[in-house]
Structure 1
């Protein structure tokens, strides 16, 4: 790890702020664009769609509201990593111009529901992608699976898969964000979280001393339920997803969890539209960012 990585690791571990998740991709892109006020009749193929998405993300990243005083890191998806902002690769722009740490979403989506969970689909070409991420000065990665019900075997499989790939990612010099999301609408969410925490603790216990990971979890039903994970020596930071809560509700729940910080995507872009003037866009984004920040520093 070079100096830059050490600086970023310290910032990620001890900095005040949250992570902006700018990584909706694939199937969720039309929806993200539609919420931003860009309808499907405004592009005719994937290339045009991704160009429009990049314009939206560039507008967010370049906004004066998108400030390292509040934001520690940003999660990109592959297409964003491979594009530029003002002639610089997105990850370099984030770090050099904004002092915000770049992460890359690496999973290829979810497998079908089995044992009450959705594992990750196989990640083909992961090694090459990780090598490219290192070349592009990415600090860490993110990968998501989903727990729908309190099925001990399913949850064990989810956590085992996450940690197995996480170790591969760490071996490349990147910090993996392990994300076993518990569906916020699950009728046995609290029970799922109990099993999940136990499985995560087992996996953390098995890691070699030097291995570091981050965790991205749904905001727990019982406040401060993840405090043991937050203080675990292997864990750089525990971040929370908004998971379908409105921003107001997500912030309110997050603020009851000490040391847990946000990594919101939909709740971050709520209220932003393509048609807004820069002044309105920046004002809206600033309010949003401040609210998420305040909930994160409790």
Structure 2
């Protein structure tokens, strides 16, 4: 795939990226412009891929009275998520990402409203929440008509978590200068993100997550097939006894003795078809995925 250059982008995006360079204090040279152009192109591909996989629709505008949930992408690369209209308000979450390489700044309002219609290439204006105005919008993705509010909620939340963390990862992997390794998906980082996103303490978030995982583990140990949400299910499977045997290291040719193993129960996790389909749809060029060789698979 051809690497995108700054001059390949539409003029409106070039202007926004130039302003971003000025505001961030980055060198105003060709290397910086081309690097940001590459990041922008990858973010856009990530955005379109995710909204497509969730069945969201790209539209030109969203009326104030439109009850559908939506995800808004600004020219600066930040995200605004709007929950479905419930009564007279909806929740709003603004993730200021831009060039961040750590946990994004999140601002959330539980009783937000649109001050007017939302349109492409214009700033969105909100009321009833800390976020009053966005920068110009590049894309508007909405839930299709006919979905229940709960289904819309699920899709918007899923898109928000994936895109927010995906954008930060792209910023980090494409950084011009060395970036300290950010533990974005450790237990500590995940708990911190969930706590901030849901307005609870990290202690409360940790307790809920640990209780949930303990229930999954307990059910599995009691012989149940336990659903782990959309990821799949955990269960136990019987493993027959194995005799000791000799095998050979494929790299060195050295013989290795694999000891005998008695019959036992072993944990098993089965991923759902939905997760498998999503994995298959991810563009492998975005995050530097490497092709496995037969030797890798055997080792």
* The structure with more radius of gyration: 2
Normalising TM by the smaller chain, what interval? under 0.3
Q: In proportion to residue count, which structure has more strand?
A: 2
The structure with more helix, counted as a fraction of residues: 1
1 or 2 for the larger relative contact order (CA 8 Å, sep ≥6)?
Answer: 1
Normalising by structure 2, we get a TM-score of: 0.25
* TM-score, with length taken from structure 1: 0.25
